[in-house]
């Protein structure tokens, strides 16, 4: 065995020795090639990890396009996944912020800034239209270029301004009805709405190709679209007479009808619609109403449609008077109230109809005094916000002076004919039964993305052939239009945090400001009324406006004002109250007693009727119908207007102190 093993070893040795030169060369090659491999392996731990290098690069890229205009969420996403890139299907400006803005809040982004600007303008525009109803028919006639004969009726013993022996005083001092309509671009009847999301969706597509971060371009383009998509007309009917409205029986019948409506709403058997009408609820709707709170929420559908546009008491009909609003308070209020003065362009007409052409009424007249709160723009006799202009087109009864016929023109004529048809009785037949009536006629046109005559067809910038040829912008084709429409249908609150609530502004009164108002109250005012006023003033800026919102308990704790809730009809998501709900809550909290009704129709019949001149702080003033609203009387200004407290749905979206003309039909005293 050992001999055989020795033989094999000797044979291998001889073989190796025979080819020793070849084996030496192969070994040398192996050693030379192994040295770099070993060196590379030993050196690798000294190199920075690849992942760290990638993170640094990602951070640098992210900061390059933020600086510092990107939300925190976007930075995190770009560091952990792919870097963000603009797309036509996303609101790209939410990734860009003004310098110093809170980047954790998308409502503070450039998209949020544009949304607030457009939405505030949108709400104020609608408010200015509704506020035509806040003045007297005589004031309206003056704006329309009509003589005083257009509003002269017969002696009304219930009107303190009438002198039985002087027919020149027999003017009709309030509108009987407000006839309000709205249509889309194709003339189809619609409920007034905001098209701001549609406008911004188109602007997003346009700037996606022209400059995704160009805020100035985005906003200017949006404003142009908004202006081209909004128009309105205002007129008034001729004087007409009813079968008799002066008797106690007729007044009693009117109040009985209002009370019947209020009861039906309170029981969930009917609901107030956006136009102020009362409609029966279906059995399914009743089932959904369920408990009292649900039926209460449904009860004020109409009162807040108008209130949703009422609250900026801005009236374009008075825009143009150069008027300085002098502070009317005594020395105790001088420190917290300031007068305002500016000039505006009055939308007057000499042809019987006022029309805001196919652009927005950008003049928002501010007739509220600058009160110690972020007060809304006031009503009909004030000055225009500085820097804004208002262009009005005057039309005749048969058409627009410029020759362009609109749906609103036809609608106005149709409404006038309807008024005449409904009121064929002559004045002579009703000298004792009816003092005469006048209706206000308002028509709005708001254009969206889906009509044949839509925003795409009105876009003079995006459809400019030179603009298309000189840039990467392809124009409005099937792809770009579909992308804009898709973006407009997204849940903007869920995705971007943008709703009407984004522009809510609460600015509570200080204790000193409240005491200044309290010091102005009559010295003989009852303690109960003082408590009501104090509680109302203390709620300024603290209770968000929420359409259909009703109190579930007195005081604050059980109502959870300000928490997120399901969107109301206008997209507000902060829990709060509407105008009539706020009145109920204040009285409930201050007196410990809940009012019997919580709708505007119900408030119009509660308590006792008082004359306008006998109003006391704490009384309420109500208008029902197409622009229903309710306010609480606080006092008189030096020029005889009403200072009030109310839940406002204009850009303030909260309780505020304001000044109104409020020539409304129902003045009610709820406490002694």
Mean pLDDT of 541-563: 93
| Domain presence at residue 451 | no
Please give the helix or strand (H or E) that residue 538 lies within, else none: helix 527-538
| Domain presence at residue 218 | no
Amino acid 11: pLDDT:
61
CB atoms within 10 A of CB 246: 18
Summarize pLDDT for 72-82 with one digit per residue, the tens.
333 333 333 35
Amino acid 12: pLDDT:
56
Summarize pLDDT for 450-485 with one digit per residue, the tens.
999 999 999 999 999 988 887 789 999 999 999 999
Classify residue 526 by its DSSP letter.
Answer: -
pTM of the model: 0.67
Amino acid 338: pLDDT:
32
Domain count for the chain: 2
pLDDT over 90 at 425, yes or no: no
Dist. CA 255–CA 447, nearest whole Å: 39
* Cβ within 8 Å of residue 514, ≥6 positions away: 534, 537, 538
Summarize pLDDT for 390-399 with one digit per residue, the tens.
223 222 222 2
Percent of the chain exceeding pLDDT 90 equals 43
pLDDT over 80 at 105, yes or no: yes
| Domain presence at residue 482 | no
Dist. CA 534–CA 402, nearest whole Å: 54
Please give the residue range of the domain that contains residue 39.
21-88
Torsion of CA 408, 410, 411, 415, to 10 degrees: 140
Structural tokens at position 443: 């028509």
Dist. CA 361–CA 199, nearest whole Å: 17
| Domain presence at residue 603 | yes
Most confident of 7-11, 35-39, 198-202, 285-289: 198-202
SS3 213: coil
Percent of the chain exceeding pLDDT 70 equals 64
Instruction: Tell me the pLDDT of the chain averaged across its residues.
Output: 73
pLDDT over 70 at 321, yes or no: no
| Domain presence at residue 411 | no
Are residues 428 and 383 in contact, defined by beta-carbon separation less than 8 angstroms? no
| Domain presence at residue 610 | yes
Residue 467, class by beta-carbon neighbours within 10 Å (0-12 exposed, 13-18 middle, 19+ buried)?
A: middle
| Domain presence at residue 628 | yes
pLDDT over 50 at 86, yes or no: yes
Dist. CA 504–CA 374, nearest whole Å: 11
Distance of CA 180 to the CA centre of its chain: 19
Amino acid 22: pLDDT:
57
Q: Pick 242 or 300 by higher pLDDT.
A: 242
Classify residue 521 by its DSSP letter.
Answer: S
SS3 115: helix
Q: Phi-psi region for residue 403, left (φ > 0), alpha (ψ -120 to 50) or beta?
A: left
Structural tokens at position 268: 């969930």
Mean pLDDT of 310-339: 30
* Lowest-confidence segment of 356-365, 512-521, 653-662 by average pLDDT: 356-365
* Boundary-marking domain end, from 57, 88, 119: 88
pLDDT over 90 at 131, yes or no: no
Amino acid 17: pLDDT:
58
Read off the CATH number of the domain in which 651 is found.
Answer: 3.90.1720.10
Please give the helix or strand (H or E) that residue 199 lies within, else none: helix 196-210
Confidence of residue 269 (pLDDT cuts 50, 70, 90): confident
pLDDT over 80 at 87, yes or no: yes
* Cβ within 8 Å of residue 352, ≥6 positions away: 144, 145, 146, 235, 396, 397
| Domain presence at residue 589 | yes
Structural tokens at position 327: 């502070």
Cis peptide before 115 (omega within 30 of 0): no
SS3 400: strand
* Boundary-marking domain end, from 48, 63, 88: 88
Summarize pLDDT for 572-581 with one digit per residue, the tens.
889 999 999 9
Please, what is the Cα angle at 438 between 433 and 439, to 5 degrees? 130
Query: Residue-wise over 431-446: b if at least 16 C-beta within 10 A, else e?
Result: eebbbbbbbbbbbbbb
Classify residue 613 by its DSSP letter.
Answer: G
* Boundary-marking domain end, from 36, 66, 88: 88
CB atoms within 10 A of CB 5: 9
Position of tokens 């309710």? 630
- Picking from 408, 403, 495, the residue whose alpha carbon sits closest to that of residue 444 is 408
pLDDT over 70 at 124, yes or no: yes
pLDDT over 60 at 226, yes or no: yes
Q: Pick 353 or 536 by higher pLDDT.
A: 536
Confidence of residue 3 (pLDDT cuts 50, 70, 90): low
Confidence of residue 373 (pLDDT cuts 50, 70, 90): very low
- Picking from 365, 312, 369, the residue whose alpha carbon sits closest to that of residue 337 is 369
Mean pLDDT of 220-236: 94
């Amino acid at each position: 065995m050992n001999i055989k093993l020795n033989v094999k070893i000797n044979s291998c040795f001889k073989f190796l020795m025979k080819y020793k030169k070849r084996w030496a060369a192969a070994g040398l090659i192996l050693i030379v090639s192994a040295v770099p491999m070993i060196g590379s392996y030993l050196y690798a731990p000294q190199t920075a990890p690849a992942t760290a290098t990638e993170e640094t690069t990602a951070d640098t890229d992210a900061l390059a396009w933020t600086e510092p205009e990107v939300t925190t969420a976007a930075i995190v996403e770009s560091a952990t996944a792919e870097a963000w890139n603009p797309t036509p299907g996303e609101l790209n400006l939410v990734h860009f912020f003004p310098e110093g803005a809170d980047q954790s809040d998308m409502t503070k982004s450039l998209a949020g800034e544009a949304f607030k600007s457009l939405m505030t303008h949108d709400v104020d525009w609608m408010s200015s239209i509704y506020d035509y109803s806040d003045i007297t028919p005589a004031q309206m006639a003056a704006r329309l270029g009509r003589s005083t004969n257009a509003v002269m009726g017969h002696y009304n013993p219930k009107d303190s301004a009438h002198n039985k022996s002087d027919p020149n005083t027999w003017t009709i001092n309030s509108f009987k009805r407000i006839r309000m309509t709205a249509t889309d671009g194709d003339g189809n009847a619609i409920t007034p709405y905001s098209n701001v999301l549609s406008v911004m969706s188109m602007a997003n597509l346009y700037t996606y190709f022209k400059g995704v971060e160009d805020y100035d371009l985005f906003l200017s383009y949006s404003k142009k679209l908004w202006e081209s998509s909004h128009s309105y007309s205002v007129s008034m009917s001729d004087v007409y007479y009813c079968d008799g409205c002066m008797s106690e029986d007729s007044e009693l019948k009117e109040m009985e009808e209002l009370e019947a409506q209020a009861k039906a709403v309170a029981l969930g058997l009917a609901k107030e619609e956006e136009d102020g009408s009362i409609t029966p609820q279906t059995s399914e709707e009743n089932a959904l109403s369920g408990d009292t709170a649900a039926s209460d929420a449904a009860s004020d559908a109409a009162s807040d449609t108008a209130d949703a546009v009422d609250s900026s008491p801005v009236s374009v009909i008075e825009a143009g008077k150069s008027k300085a609003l002098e502070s009317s308070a005594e020395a105790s209020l001088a420190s917290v109230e300031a007068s305002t003065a500016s000039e505006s362009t009055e939308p007057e007409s000499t042809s019987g109809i006022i029309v805001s052409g196919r652009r927005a009424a950008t003049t928002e007249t501010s007739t509220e005094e600058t009160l110690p709160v972020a007060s809304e723009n006031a009503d009909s006799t004030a000055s225009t916000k500085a820097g804004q202009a208002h262009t009005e087109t005057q039309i005749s009864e048969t058409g627009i002076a410029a020759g362009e016929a609109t749906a609103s023109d036809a609608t106005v004529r149709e409404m006038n004919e309807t008024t005449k048809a409904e009121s064929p009785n002559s004045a002579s037949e009703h000298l004792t039964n009816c003092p005469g009536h006048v209706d206000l006629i308002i028509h709005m046109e708001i254009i969206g993305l889906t009509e044949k005559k839509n925003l795409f067809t009105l876009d003079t910038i995006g459809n400019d052939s030179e603009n298309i040829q000189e840039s990467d912008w392809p124009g409005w084709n099937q792809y770009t239009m579909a992308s804009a429409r898709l973006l407009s249908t997204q849940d903007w609150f869920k995705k971007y945090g943008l709703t009407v609530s984004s522009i809510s502004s609460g600015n509570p009164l200080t204790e000193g400001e409240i005491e200044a108002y309290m010091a102005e109250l009559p010295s003989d005012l009852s303690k109960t009324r003082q408590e009501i006023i104090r509680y109302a003033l203390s709620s300024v800026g603290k209770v968000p406006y929420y359409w259909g919102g009703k109190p579930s308990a007195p005081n604050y704790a059980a109502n959870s004002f300000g928490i997120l809730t399901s969107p109301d009809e206008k997209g507000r998501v902060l829990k709060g109250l509407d105008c009539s709900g706020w009145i109920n809550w204040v009285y409930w909290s201050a007196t410990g007693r809940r009012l019997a009704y919580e709708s505007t129709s119900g408030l119009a019949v509660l308590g006792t009727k008082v004359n306008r001149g006998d109003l006391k702080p704490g009384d309420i003033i109500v208008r029902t119908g197409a622009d229903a609203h309710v306010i609480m009387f606080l006092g008189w200004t030096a020029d005889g207007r009403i200072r009030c407290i109310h839940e406002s749905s204009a850009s303030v979206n909260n309780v505020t102190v304001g000044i109104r003309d409020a020539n409304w039909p129902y003045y009610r005293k709820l406490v002694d």
